[in-house]
Structure 1
């Protein structure tokens, strides 16, 4: 555990500054880099009190579960509005930048000897920085969890009803609110009570296989839906004809919807609030080992994203829906595999909630109980409070996705791009023209651009509606 949920006080912070000065600026950069790569994040005496740690594979699964949420359903629509080549290049750039921002976070953790995003904010800008980071994490994660539960509430009854032959529309098991409460009490709350992320390795691996199954079904079903997509509303059949212009993929395409591409992709690789907790519980934690976990998780997520987007687009072309499963429901309404994958995706989204609950709870405890040791009372009460808030938001706020869309546009961008770049520019002792500092500056400017663009697009959408 990291300093008993504690914080860094002023004396420790001044010690850091003086200690760095005493070390001397003449230290060889090569030796320092080698030392950082192999340096454990946690002190040896703290590690000795812990269990053996979480395996590399479970750490990768946990990170991928934090990365891949419901955004996997919308990437085919983004590809249709950007073109295959433009989409591929943009997705690769965002994935590389997300990995690089994690690299900066890990580097700063080694240099400052802290193990939390919040304490990095404290080192960089004092208590204001810590509160800013904690508030951003709380808002972002509560918003994400609420929207995930809203997806469960609205989509699960329809997914279940497709397996039923009789009209059971008034049955309790087709009431979204009742299903949501039951699921949260029986699944979400027990999983969020777990004190460590390592315990979620099994559920995270299950969530990953659900999403991999989704990508596989998208690939296979490409040959089950002929083109052009002409559906009769009186009789459910397809009119098959020769390939036309509508069935040719576009490699470059620009439309008004293209502006949503980068913000959507940026949010698709948000995992930074979970990186440091996963780091702390990793077996033999070191910067290089955690960077390998990050690179593996982001690479596998990129592969699943790209395959599902590519074959989803090559199935529906210009008629691809903003949420791709709606297209399969329209053109393959009684396909058992499609109905099964819809349930799998809903449960995969559900199993993401406990993982992103952990950083939110941790941020609350570090903000309101900064100098207290770990307490099961605080742990349970905060967990119960956060779960109650997200369930109430999902049950009673009708436009929650719009509300948190505009907030998430700023918070997610800050966590992925702005904070890592800004903190590194503030804390690093390198010259400003060094490679890492220039990279941090690019990350910061890119984050500000993406955040501003996202904010403007959502406001513009609201005005139009």
Structure 2
């Protein structure tokens, strides 16, 4: 049927036909009599369109949502909106490049695209970038659990005096949460089964958004700092607030020393690319157009959530908003029941997101260590256990990994969003289909170049931070 559609139609329709054909048969023909290469991702997807949206939306939404109000306070409402639209469009275009490359060669694994584009070095590069970035993301989620869960338990038990109890120790709590919640979810065979937990996780963040909107009309600016000085900071990189006479006024445009960090914060908030191809693999009736719709709906939903969270969070605290929005709410009352519920919802959301982030890391490691091996439960369980163990050690023994996260985010995030999708597209799509100097390939090359600019810019900011010794916060996904 796809071949019939190709006959007598336009050039673009022909390319769509080739893409559809490549979903079942690779674009590059095999030798006569040769056995078709079998990829470990070759199986019929069973995840519905809605569940795939839940999974991808959950992958997009990360801890970066807590820093968006702070980003808006350093750009102004109009400039923030322009940047948010810009990053969302670029993220959707990046996913388009990945899906087009995957459709051409019939491969739906990020690492295998690297292998097809540049051979084993490309495969190793893609796997390493995914592993490093997602380990950083998992660590950021567990750091939120380590910091927030003791405060929630303390408030629930009304225990504000004895803080030495073992169940108020964040290190013990992340081990318990990892062992009894994260590990069992990470042992599921297919990512699609986590659609239910992803949906619940998203509902928790919707509750967080509703609470932020509600609190806008119940908190007056300026804030009373009487309780703030008795609170334990949630994050290590707390930034002192520079009060001015107009810090309770909304600004449409503003530029300051923190403005340059807005683009990294927004870019990291939209990183979902390691999860795109695994979700594509398990999508029922998978085609490039169907998966692109999944991506577009997910990005649009997160765009709305990000914008509303940033806007109402900023309009609540204005110049007093901090780099971690929940920490700012602590300043208006440590026993606020709604804020306690919000903390609990955020904890549930990040806890249920960790297994979704773990799946691409495991796929990357399987591509490196066991590329030709079929699925085996022993490897599946062992890799999950080792990853969770390593991340727990990192969170427990490293007191502050803000600079490490900044370094990882400045290198892996632009690689996943801009550089790798762009260069994979240029290398994989055949010249017979799109010449090297065709508009789509030139756009993809410029897209990759933009990623290099973004990487150099982010690394420069981190080096400036290290050299000046100033405490600035770069938001992570």
State the TM-score, normalized to the length of structure 2: 0.86
Instruction: Give the C-alpha shift of residue 148 in structure 1.
Output: 1.5
Which one of 43, 57, 61 corresponds to residue 68 of structure 1?
Answer: 61
Is residue 253 from structure 1 mapped to residue 254 from structure 2 by the alignment? yes
In the alignment, what sits opposite 1:424?
Answer: 425
Q: Residues 290, 420 of structure 1: CA spacing in aligned structure 2 closer, same or farther, 3 A cutoff?
A: same
**Equivalences, count:** 432
Q: Residues 335, 273 of structure 1: CA spacing in aligned structure 2 closer, same or farther, 3 A cutoff?
A: same
**Deviation sequence 1:41-96 (CA, Å, 0-9, x none):** 4569999x956611111100100111111100000000000010100010111011
Instruction: Give the C-alpha shift of residue 123 in structure 1.
Output: 1.1
Which one of 191, 202, 205 corresponds to residue 211 of structure 1?
Answer: 205
Instruction: Give the C-alpha shift of residue 260 in structure 1.
Output: 0.3
> In structure 2, what is the Cα distance between the partners aligned to 1:36 and 1:174?
58
Contact 1:53 1:281 (8 Å CA) reproduced = yes
In the alignment, what sits opposite 1:174?
Answer: 168
Q: Residues 50, 133 of structure 1: CA spacing in aligned structure 2 closer, same or farther, 3 A cutoff?
A: closer
**Deviation sequence 1:385-429 (CA, Å, 0-9, x none):** 111111111111222332232022101110111100111122232
Contact 1:36 1:107 (8 Å CA) reproduced = no
- Unpaired runs of 5+ residues, structure 1, are 1-25, 237-243
In the alignment, what sits opposite 1:292?
Answer: 293
> Within 5 A, what are the aligned runs for 1:124-135?
124-135=117-128
Contact 2:124 2:368 (8 Å CA) reproduced = yes
Tell me the secondary structure at the aligned position of residue 82 of structure 1: coil
Q: Residues 125, 71 of structure 1: CA spacing in aligned structure 2 closer, same or farther, 3 A cutoff?
A: same
Moved more, 26-35 or 371-380: 26-35
In the alignment, what sits opposite 1:395?
Answer: 396
Instruction: Give the C-alpha shift of residue 433 in structure 1.
Output: 4.2
> In structure 1, what is the Cα distance between the partners aligned to 2:9 and 2:166?
68
Greater helix share, structure number:
1
> In structure 2, what is the Cα distance between the partners aligned to 1:441 and 1:295?
22
Is residue 199 from structure 1 mapped to residue 181 from structure 2 by the alignment? no
Is residue 415 from structure 1 mapped to residue 411 from structure 2 by the alignment? no
> In structure 1, what is the Cα distance between the partners aligned to 2:213 and 2:228?
29
Instruction: Give the C-alpha shift of residue 160 in structure 1.
Output: 2.0
> In structure 1, what is the Cα distance between the partners aligned to 2:15 and 2:411?
33
In the alignment, what sits opposite 2:138?
Answer: 145
State the TM-score, normalized to the length of structure 1: 0.88
Instruction: Give the C-alpha shift of residue 235 in structure 1.
Output: 12
- Unpaired runs of 5+ residues, structure 2, are 1-7, 27-35, 231-244, 470-477
Is residue 350 from structure 1 mapped to residue 351 from structure 2 by the alignment? yes
Q: Residues 349, 88 of structure 1: CA spacing in aligned structure 2 closer, same or farther, 3 A cutoff?
A: same
> Within 5 A, what are the aligned runs for 1:64-463?
64-166=57-159, 167-232=161-226, 245-428=246-429, 429=431, 430-463=434-467
In the alignment, what sits opposite 1:31?
Answer: 13
Q: Residues 139, 232 of structure 1: CA spacing in aligned structure 2 closer, same or farther, 3 A cutoff?
A: closer
> In structure 1, what is the Cα distance between the partners aligned to 2:226 and 2:169?
30
Instruction: Give the C-alpha shift of residue 438 in structure 1.
Output: 2.8
> In structure 2, what is the Cα distance between the partners aligned to 1:229 and 1:378?
53
Contact 1:40 1:285 (8 Å CA) reproduced = no
Contact 1:40 1:287 (8 Å CA) reproduced = no
> In structure 2, what is the Cα distance between the partners aligned to 1:142 and 1:357?
8
Instruction: Give the C-alpha shift of residue 164 in structure 1.
Output: 2.7
Q: Residues 265, 106 of structure 1: CA spacing in aligned structure 2 closer, same or farther, 3 A cutoff?
A: same
**Deviation sequence 1:183-202 (CA, Å, 0-9, x none):** 00000111111111011001
Q: Residues 36, 351 of structure 1: CA spacing in aligned structure 2 closer, same or farther, 3 A cutoff?
A: farther
Q: Residues 41, 168 of structure 1: CA spacing in aligned structure 2 closer, same or farther, 3 A cutoff?
A: farther
Q: Residues 52, 27 of structure 1: CA spacing in aligned structure 2 closer, same or farther, 3 A cutoff?
A: closer
Contact 2:219 2:316 (8 Å CA) reproduced = yes
